[in-house]
Structure 1
């Protein structure tokens, strides 16, 4: 099993994988973190790292995966941007990862 890639509905190992990071700036709210994890969960992805910090009324959240399908990066970023209260989403792709 590849870290960050729990199980995929598409078991194809031909799909290219990449390391990815997502940086979100949002209003603080009690349910924010669970709502931000939902786009990953519905794709059977588990972030390897999650870091959240509150500064007054603003929350910054960083989520990173060591490996995720390249085609899903923009989909997850789009879903994160639709979360209520989110002001900004930045997605970064890293190095390509060989499928196991």
Structure 2
């Protein structure tokens, strides 16, 4: 038994094929095997709340300031934690949201090469 470090989708595909997964299974699972943590700076707290809800609804998570709950500060940094598959599911939702979330979605798409 050992921990495997998977840096990208190619690494995931190699590992999955190495255990004799089918090509179809590998295509479905590769993005589930790549986990990314992304820090976003100075997000409007209203947007951060929507971002957190969206990530949770897709199986990921987002760490936000405690001041998001009561909107007592205007901005927060956000730490996103998700697989590539979860980001891919969240991005279309974020594209339809206000307060700068469309730009964040587009930047995530570029950053994660989705």
Q: TM-score, normalised by structure 2?
A: 0.42
Higher strand proportion? 1
Q: TM-score, normalised by structure 1?
A: 0.46
Higher RCO by CA contacts (8 Å cutoff, separation 6 or greater): 1
Q: Of the two, which has the highest radius of gyration?
A: 2
